Structure 1
Amino acid sequence: MAPAAMTFASSLSDAQPVPFWLEDPGKPDSLPALTRDERTDLLVVGGGYSGLWTALIAKERDPERDVVLIEGHEVGWAASGRNGGFCAASLTHGLSNGLARWPDDMGRLEDMGARNLDAIEQAVAAYGIDCEFERTGEIDVATEPHQLVELHELHEEAEGLGLAGGMELLDRDAMRAEVDSPTFLGGLWDRTGVAMLHPAKLAWGLKQACLNLGVRIYENTRALQLSSSGAEAAVRTPYGRIFARQVALGTNVFPSLVKRLRPYIVPVYDYALMTEPLSGAQLDAIGWKRRQGLGDSANQFHYFRITADHRILWGGYDAIYPFGGRVTAERDHRPETYLKLAGQFFTCFPQLEGLRFTHAWGGAIDTCSRFSAFFGTAHGGKVAYATGYTGLGVGATRFGAEVMLDLLSGERTERTELEMVRRKPMPFPPEPVAWAGIGITKWSLARADERGGKRNLWLRAMDRMGLGFDS
């Protein structure tokens, strides 16, 4: 191992292989499993953000509705408790992705996304959820000259469409005045469209809010099978069954109970590191007084933020798709990625040399070919689903919950009229084609980063088919 790699490895020597957020002492006790048959008006499957928002909003819309939520492990243990805590207004995985796919609807989508983020902030306040919610915004950072050009072009396009409210271009000096790194050449700051929060505390707070409104929650209760039973749907669990007039599926990365949806989702593993708390001198060395979320503008990008106790979360870059798409606990850890991330961290912040990492973890993200959620119904309209959030689910899952409840009600709403809601993405091909295609795409994206953003024939073909990131 080279001397530099040895230095990076030493920074990881005390890193615990568990998600930092889930170790919080405020973690609630697990609730008992379902051990009998039950009937309910609405069954919600999944105890992440998607399911929790669905159960909560269902009770807000109709307090008399009987709602049951089941979770296969513990509420918030999967992606909802492992992510970076970026709660974005965007429903489309960023403005450029949305403009490429739904240009005619982008005004409405941006407005709905802004209202959705406002509603999350209001719910956090109304239910007293102590999740360290901070409306700091996020800066897309340029670390290469072509990325700076792309950020300027995106800002101009947003201005031309009247969608640049709250956006501010930063040159090199302005960017480094916000957060100081020798790698930063400039940035585009979305001042109002992103909040930072403690992701596990949000999930736990939503769990308590649901309980307070009368939702019955069963943890360690895996949904095994979904079928129709007359006017009801039936879900079988290890120790019982639940009969429900309606079912909302918030299972996301895990195999859908609606089997025809499985080809539309692949799991992509993402990894993150958390540092020890920074000293006063270390904080002064990097600035970051306004605590924005940051993300660099490469195809293989990093996301990073500062926590309430002055740690830095540093994640992203590697996106690992396992052959066959199986989600397993063994893949939650990848030391070779941790070492790579540590080296990239100290390249970004050389003034923090000697800082150590306390936690290193990973988890699977539900990814679809258009990189933003899709929606629909099954079993004659008794079952609704929202899935495929591709890493932007902290905020967008609340919107997805509203869509599922709209679809179950049978009403036409401003949400159900969106092309994004009415149309599905393309499914992924079967193996080994999926594995090969994803591998070629990842290689091509890395090459584009090395070649000044120039996209090769493969990426341009994927773009034309609606299967590629539009950088």
Structure 2
Amino acid sequence: MDPVHALRDACPTPFWLDDPGRPQATSALVGDTCCDLLVVGGGYSGLWTALIAKERDPSRDVVLIEGEEIGWAASGRNGGFCESSLTHGLGNGFERWPDELAELERLGIRNLQAIEDTIKGYGIECDWERTGALNVATEPYQVDDLHEMAALAARYGSEQTVLDADQTRAEINSPTFLGALRDDEGTAMLNPARLAWGLKQVCLDLGVRIHERTRATAVEETGPGITVRTPYGRVLADRVALATNAFPSLVKRHRLYTVPVYDYALMTEPLTDEQFASVGWYNRQGFSDAANQFHYVRLSTDNRILWGGYDTLYHYRGRVRAEHDQRPETFATLARHFFRTFPQLEGLRFTHAWGGAIDTCTRFSAFFDTTHRGRVAFAAGFTGLGVGATRFGAEVMLDLLAGECTERTRLEMVRRKPLPFPPEPVRWAGIQATRWSLARADENSGRRNLWLKTLDRLGLGFGS
């Protein structure tokens, strides 16, 4: 049977958001108000910023505004991998900040534990599972890379285990698996929408004033504070944290540093007991493969399989539009790859197929800035690994707004920004050349062409 037939009844809605427990939106801001801290954006970055601000100072008056609903964008649509890495993986961190990578790894592990402590401490029901993860080799040349990454991890204090083909298939049974790198500590699985909704409720309980369906349209300095305009009113704040990520920043100069790219995913119906046994996925780790155009894959609590990634698309001039959320040709590709990986699951149907925008920058990981004499802080560029790293970014923004010199603000990663993207049409042409080159490298045993080698020398990147 053509794998595409498995898509015939797929709902064009993110699985996690298709939930009868989805909370009702709070009211829009109407009229003017003032506060100590205004947070713009109701994804993870903004929610963590508001929550931690109240934990640091319960008397602080915090307002959060969101243009749609809490968690409706990347925070509610992602794969639910919550990783300790703050640098989009150990390899990327080593290439960019080798001298402080040990500190970044330590802070990342501490950050992941703080997320777990928050979830348990406030009773957030988001299906948190500290499963660890596998990075799977599906081509012979990738097996050597696994050993190199294990050695690098050991150098920075992380114990990761290389599995051979039989050991890998004993964990997750696929004829395409030739080996894997297992990390038992650095990744948790969760329900991303329920995490966002849980953080929203905690913020409300702590006294944060949340206004959904309230889009920020402008930010300006007005004497004693910062004014942010919205369609129905203004907010005068002493400090402002911008957490808009894939969407255009209110500060125009920040727009040079990020581009929105589209990522796609499928979710299957629940596996039967027989189907689950054929896969043998008893330790429930999330996994990704080791290609440039990689897939990310995990189980839900009711034993559905989420299958995402591979295609990462940029639209000319960085347009973020709802019609880009559906791309049948990508869904067809993902379906074919799924059944190539798990041929024993032939006949399984996909119930949901969706996509959405994430932000990326030329160094793959978050960057930070302040404007308006230190009264406005900004964080973006999480590049698909923001479920965990956004909490760290929130702490950085709050440190910067307080004018504090901390172990976070002293980091080179925090003090320096990535190289900006060039203007159009060079930006679009460069991204397309990079996507083509990455695909060619996957087809040629990982060999990087002149274009990719040039980007490597310049410290530029593009990925999901």
Q: Secondary structure at the match of 1:288?
A: coil
> 1:55 and 1:361 mapped to 2: Cα distance?
29
Q: Which residue of 1 aligns with 2:307?
A: 314
| Equivalent residue, structure 1, for 2:213 | 220
Structure 2 distance, partners of 1:91, 1:157, is 16
Say whether the 8 Å CA contact 2:268–2:351 is kept in structure 1: yes
Q: Secondary structure at the match of 1:248?
A: strand
Question: Residue 399 of structure 1: which of 374, 392, 397 is its match?
Answer: 392
CA distance in 1, matches of 2:12, 2:343: 24
Q: Secondary structure at the residue paired with 2:229?
A: strand
Question: Aligned in 2, Cα 1:68/1:180: closer, same or farther, shift over 3 Å?
Answer: same
Deviation at 1:468, TM superposition (A): 2.6
Counterpart pick for 1:260 among 253, 262, 281: 253
The answer to whether residue 128 in structure 2 is matched with residue 133 in structure 1 is: yes
The alignment status of 1:154 with 2:130, answered yes or no, reads no
Q: What does 1:173-188 correspond to in 2, within 5 Å?
A: 173-188=166-181
- Report how far residue 461 of structure 1 moved: 0.5
Partner in structure 1 of residue 79 of structure 2: 84
Number of the residue aligned with 1:111: 106
Is the counterpart of residue 24 in structure 1 residue 19 in structure 2? yes
2:272 maps to 1:279: yes
Whole-angstrom CA distance in 2 between matches of 1:401 and 1:156: 31
Aligned residues: 464
In 2, are the aligned partners of 1:143 and 1:184 still within 8 Å (CA)?
yes
Partner amino acid, structure 1, of 2:226: A
Answering whether residue 65 of structure 2 is matched by residue 70 of structure 1, we say yes
Letter in 2 for 1:16: C
Q: How far does the alpha carbon of each residue in 1:364-404 deviate from its partner, in whole angstroms, 9 at most, with x for none?
A: 01110000000010111000011000000000000000000
Q: Given the alignment, which residue of 361, 365, 368 partners 1:372?
A: 365
Residue 353 of structure 1 corresponds to which residue in structure 2?
346
**SS class of match (2:312):** coil
Equivalent residue, structure 1, for 2:6: 11
Residue 254 of structure 2 aligns with an amino acid whose one-letter code is L
Give the whole-Å Cα distance in 1 for the aligned partners of 2:133 and 2:424: 37
In the TM superposition, 1:190-269 aligns within 5 A as 190-269=183-262
Once the 2 structures are TM-superposed, how far is the Cα of residue 169 of structure 1 from its aligned partner?
A: 1.1
1:390 paired to 2:396:
no
How far, CA to CA, are the matches of 2:35 and 2:86 in structure 1?
Answer: 31
Correspondence for 2:31 among 36, 42, 50: 36
TM-score (norm 1): 0.98
Instruction: Tell me how far 1:155 sits from its aligned partner.
Output: 1.0
Match of 2:336 among 325, 343, 360: 343
The answer to whether structure 1 residue 96 and structure 2 residue 111 are counterparts is no
Matched position secondary structure for 1:163: coil
Match of 1:164 in 2: 158
Tell me by how many angstroms 1:110 deviates: 0.2
Secondary structure at the aligned position of 1:428 is classed as: coil
Q: How far apart are residue 470 of structure 1 and its match?
A: 10
Question: Which one-letter code corresponds to 1:196 in the other structure?
Answer: M
Instruction: State the 1:26 CA deviation.
Output: 1.2
Uncovered stretches (5+) of structure 1, i.e. residues with no partner: none
Q: Deviations over 1:402-429 (max 9, x none)?
A: 0000000001000000000000000000
Partner Cα distance (1:12, 1:137) in 2: 30
Cα separation, partners in 2 of 1:66 and 1:82, compared to 1, 3 Å = same
CA–CA distance in structure 2, aligned partners of residues 156 and 409 of structure 1: 39
2:424 to 431, 436, 446: 431
3-state DSSP of counterpart to 2:39: strand
Matched letter for residue 187 of structure 2: V
Deviation at 1:231, TM superposition (A): 2.3
Distance in structure 2 (CA, Å) of the matches to 1:384 and 1:102: 23
Q: Paired residue for 1:303? A: 296
> Is 1:463–1:470's contact at 8 Å kept on the other side of the alignment?
no
The alignment partner of 1:188 has SS state of: strand
Aligned-pair CA distance for 1:268: 0.6
Q: What's the TM-score once normalised by structure 2's chain length?
A: 0.99
Q: Is the 8 A contact 1:249 1:383 kept in 2?
A: yes
What is the CA distance between 1:469 and its match in structure 2?
6.2
